[in-house]
Structure 1
Amino acid sequence: MSDNYAEVKRILANIRTIRTFVREVDYLFLVEAHEKLGVALEERKAEFECEQEELNKKEAKKKELLAFIASEGFTLEELNGNGITKRKKPPVHRKPKYTFEENGEMKVWSGVGRKPKPIEVALNEGKTLSDFLICSV
């Protein structure tokens, strides 16, 4: 059913397609469809205006509450978390697992994330990751 709606939406969104359709369909059918579409459009307009009115009321109430909170000397952060902030987890430091040489300098890689370019090149040449393993691992 949604495919039908998508097709109707595609047709109604393009003026050239609508003109082609109007030329090919009986005029009396078009008048009847226009009347029905007009009724449905008026109903949808009333729903839309009601939704907008609700959103405006909600926004006004939100502004009123924010003004009240500010007038009492509080901030949203104080009310939301009682002034307590969550601690961030410390980053996980992984031990180096592989070693490789880049520009004459020995470097290490933990095995997480993108492979360093020198390791990538060596793998393409036929080496394996085990060739780069650090012995103490």
Structure 2
Amino acid sequence: MSLLSLNNIRTLRAQARDTAVDVLEEMLDKLRVVVEEKQEEQQQLEAQQRDKAAKLEKYRELLASEGISLDELTTQPQTAIKTKSKRAPRPAKYTYVDEKGQTKYWTGQGRTPSVISKALDNGKSLDDFLLLSK
């Protein structure tokens, strides 16, 4: 039974028909505990939101008294902004021919291509795939 069915009086009556009164009272007590916990949780959340709002207002007043606007506080000077440059791709270190007969290149980083992996399992060395420098 889902919690949504507790909101339907007909479903509750049907479920309660075969349940003893003392069991129903025990269930009611447990439901009251759950409701009280939920109410306390809601009150704590509301108190936290009130505290946060009060702090925000305090800081707004402090900034206004110092002559600082929120826009000045949130914008960064252009000199402080650094853009991360993209590094150049790594040069290929190995060459191999795939299942389709195409020549492919591998940097030696990341997952080993399946063709090279199979060759290594069969006793070949990575040196057999080294790209000859021009």
TM-score where L is the length of structure 2:
0.50
Query: Could you tell me whether the CA contact under 8 Å between 2:92 and 2:107 is conserved in 1?
Result: yes
Shift of residue 41, structure 1, vs aligned partner: 1.4
Distance 2:83 2:3 in 1: 51
Query: Could you say which residue in structure 2 is the equivalent of 1:99?
Result: 95
Matches of 2:115 and 2:83, distance apart in 1: 41
Aligned letter for 2:74? L
- Distance in 2, matches of 1:97 and 1:58, equals 57
Supply the distance in 1 between the matched residues of 2:39 and 2:103 (Cα, whole angstroms). 70
Give the drift of 1:98: 0.4
Check conservation: 1:77, 1:83, Cα contact below 8 A: no
Please name the residue that 1:45 is paired with. Answer: 39
Shift of 1:33: 2.9
Aligned to 1:4: none
Structure 1 SS opposite 2:80: coil
User: Are 1:110 and 2:107 matched, yes or no?
Assistant: yes
Aligned residues: 120
Q: Point out the structure with max Rg over C-alpha.
A: 2
Q: How far 1:74 moved relative to its partner?
A: 0.7
Give 2:69's aligned residue: 71
Task: Name stretches of at least 5 consecutive residues in structure 2 with no aligned partner.
Answer: none
Tell me which moved more, 51-60 or 122-131. 122-131
Percent identity between matched residues is 25
Cα gap change, 1:92 to 1:55, in 2 (>3 Å): farther
Counterpart contact for 1:98–1:109, Cα < 8 Å: yes
Aligned to 2:131: 134
Question: Which residue identity is paired with 2:72?
Answer: F
> Structure 2 counterpart of 1:91, which letter?
R
The structural deviation recorded for 1:30 is 1.5
- Partner Cα separation in structure 2 for residue 57 and residue 83 of structure 1: 36
**Equivalent residue, structure 2, for 1:5:** none
For the aligned residue pairs, the C-alpha RMSD in angstroms reads: 4.7
* Contact 1:98–1:111 (CA under 8 A) maintained in structure 2: yes
Kept after mapping to 1: 8 A contact 2:95/2:106? yes
Q: Does 1:30 align with 2:24?
A: yes
